[in-house]
Amino acid sequence: MPDSISSDMPEFLQSLNPQQRSAVMHGDAPLLIIAGAGTGKTTTLAHRVAWQIVSGTDPARLLLLTFTRRAAAEMLRRVEQILVQLDPATVKDPSVCQRSSIRRIAGGTFHSVATNLLRRYGNLIGLHPDFTILDRSDSEDLMNVVRSKLNLPKTENRFPLKSTCLDIYSRCVNTQNSLELVLKRYFPWCLEHQERLSELFNNYTSTKEQQRVLDFDDLLLFWNALAENADGGQMLRQQFQKVLVDEYQDTNILQAQ
């Protein structure tokens, strides 16, 4: 894009460099921004969100995903700062300059967005909406309860601790790889316990189902299942017109899906 700024260029884009403006004004095709730290990726993404809204996209149909609540709050703050400073006379819909438009954006962490969607639409994949979410400590404790019921600490020599068991389980879920492959690649010292680990994970999964609890990995797993469901996938496509992801390079296989 040329360095010169067109006279009809929206004012809020004029502070960006040519590469940033090109990314912000990019069309509907997928776009991946690759740049080093401190080069303005977050600024570009915030302006991209604002540009979509100014261009007519309903804020409620924008999905903004981040890795932390702080990042989500900061991103939405930046978008709000851009929009409220616009001259309403220069945009098609003056209402987008109001703070209320920002609150309509579906923005948050992968897990918070997954939670909201699953509580609303999880019944499409057989998930009860009143599920409880386990944090890391809760998940380890439940894994240990199941582990003890199977007498694994007593019957198996050097069987992995509850934290390691959860790490292995999580790696299988997030990489969508088999237990055997995960053990060979990341936990080779646990290969001798593959059969019992498989039994443990099956029981851990069924116990969660019985207790109506989900761990953090389940939130992404069931969100993916919802997206792949015929009715659920259609619903998500109708609800979200654009998906924007901060720090996409850090996503795992399941998050990327």
pLDDT in tens, 72-110: 999 999 998 888 888 777 777 777 777 777 788 888 999
Share of the chain above pLDDT 90, in %: 60
pLDDT band at residue 121 under the 50/70/90 scheme: very high
Residue 96's closest CA among 59, 64, 61?
59
pLDDT digits (tens, 9 = 90+) for 130-184: 999 999 999 999 999 999 999 987 666 789 999 999 999 999 999 999 999 999 9
Q: What is the pLDDT of residue 5?
A: 52
pLDDT digits (tens, 9 = 90+) for 27-72: 888 888 888 878 888 899 999 999 998 888 898 999 999 989 999 9
State the residue for tokens 């003056």.
94
Report yes or no on whether pTM surpasses 0.75: yes
What residue ranges do the domains of the chain occupy? Answer: 11-109+241-256, 132-211
Which tokens is 212 given? 């109506």
What is the residue type of 120?
R
Class of domain 11-109+241-256 as given by CATH: alpha beta
Which tokens is 23 given? 């990314």
- Give the span between the Cα atoms of 116 and 75, in whole angstroms: 19
pLDDT digits (tens, 9 = 90+) for 214-240: 999 999 999 999 999 999 999 999 999
